[in-house]
Structure 1
Amino acid sequence: MKFKILGSVGVEAHGHFHSIRGGHQRVLLAVLLVNGGRLIPAEELYGELWGEQPPVTVENALQAHVSRLRRTLQALGPGAPVLLTRSTGYSLEFAAGDLDMNVFRRGVGRARALMARDAKAAAALLDQSLGLWRGAALQDVTGGLLCQSVAVQLAEEHLAATEDKLWLDFEREVPSAIGELKRMSVVHPWRERVTEMLMLALYRCGRQAEAIETYHAARARMIAELGTEPSPQLRERFLDILNQVPACPGAGRSAPAPQPA
């Protein structure tokens, strides 16, 4: 039995994806999963499920949702994880490798360790890891601060991994990467790493003027909308291109390894 949160929240059993009916059950399962089997105090679950307006009989309501979720998981067949009830809270016992979030993070970590010495293997691992995503993380969960913060963190990790994959594609086939880099620069205009890669890709294809214009457009946008100048690193890359440095340094620095939520 595998658990999915990189998209809608659900369970994969016997090769089929099963969504979790009921908003409170989905939130409950999501919170139990992102906590990695640790005990969650009932008071924290109150906030995740009901925010600042819990029902009058909140303890009984939580127990009812726990019972429903336990039955839902058991109905999916053998191998259901144990949903434990303790005096102070609840926990879900499952193997770390059964949650797509953990598989994604492990795959990206392995890919980054390989980038410098085996770009082809690293690219394959990133492809596999990014392929686990079925949409925005926790997309059908409207929980409290924990679910929201995990969703934001995972979105950043997905974008950083996508940038790593783009860098590897760019290193192997510069011209074919330009179109995707341009698209990414429009969707994520404040990602300086994307801007830097696009500048390098254009420069290495002999399109120095476009690379310079890419920098000026990004700088003008930052000044107008953020009131700030580009980073020293991006300015340095601009000067390399402006001065026609034969072998511009790369933008392939990997993002720091993500920390568990």
Structure 2
Amino acid sequence: MELEFFVLGPLEVRSAGVEIPVRSGQQRVLLAALLLRANQVVPLDELTDRLWGEAPPRGARNTLRAYVMRLRRTLGADDGDGVVVETHPEGYRIRVEPAELDLLRFEDLLAQAGRLAAAGPMEEAQVLRQAVALWRGPVLSNVDSDGCIGTPSWR
């Protein structure tokens, strides 16, 4: 199953152009935290903080494991097509290609525009317009988390 992830606006997941609803607020927070650090291991403590802030529940790590399992199921990763969310001793990592995540496409376009700056402003401006077109509104506008308020990399 080929998935596409969108964070430059409301959080969305699509498969073959069809939206896959991520209904649970906690799963949206978990997915958002992983996508903002795509292809990097996000430490367990950071994920716990994103999900519950400074007052995690008793057994937060077990609950986090359950959330990851449910998220994998939501994303269709339990069907053997490959694990999108990988487990590591120190945390979890979501594995995505640049074409699968709008944030990575945006970053690639910005880098491309920077390389084109020497070629001329018209070429650079065209690529920057493509980058801006990826934005659909405020970043993660449908994701609520007390654990990330005031964190510049989140909102």
Identify the TM-score tier after normalising by the shorter chain.
0.7 to 0.9
2:11 to 9, 12, 24: 9
Q: How far is 1:140 from its partner? A: 1.7
| Structure with higher strand content | 2
- What are structure 1's unaligned runs of at least 5 residues? 153-261
Equivalent residue, structure 2, for 1:28: 30
| Structure with higher helix content | 1
Equivalent residue, structure 1, for 2:152: 149
1:88 to 87, 90, 95: 90
1:3 and 1:80 map into 2 onto residues whose CA distance is 16
Where 1:59 maps in the other structure, the secondary structure is: helix
Equivalent residue, structure 2, for 1:200: none
Q: Is residue 71 of structure 1 aligned with residue 95 of structure 2?
A: no
Q: Equivalent pairs: percent with the same residue?
A: 36
| 1:148 to 1:21, Cα distance in 2 relative to 1, 3 A | farther
Equivalent residues in 2 for 1:154-233, closer than 5 Å: none
Show structure 1 runs of 4+ deviating over 6 A: none
1:52 to 41, 49, 54: 54
Deviations 1:17-57 (A, max 9, x none): 33421111011111111212222222221111000121122
- What are structure 2's unaligned runs of at least 5 residues? none
1:103 to 100, 105, 129: 105
- The alignment of Structure 1 onto Structure 2 pairs a total of residues equal to 152
User: Aligned AA for 1:18?
Assistant: I
Q: Kindly indicate whether the alpha-carbon contact (under 8 Å) linking 2:116 and 2:123 is maintained by their aligned counterparts in 1.
A: yes
Q: How far is 1:97 from its partner? A: 3.4
Greater RCO between the two (CA within 8 Å, min separation 6)? 2
Equivalent residue, structure 1, for 2:114: 112
2:122 and 2:10 map into 1 onto residues whose CA distance is 31
Q: How far is 1:104 from its partner? A: 0.7
1:61 to 63, 66, 86: 63
When the two chains are superposed, the root-mean-square deviation of aligned CA atoms in Å is 2.6
Q: How far is 1:61 from its partner? A: 1.4
1:82 and 1:105 map into 2 onto residues whose CA distance is 21
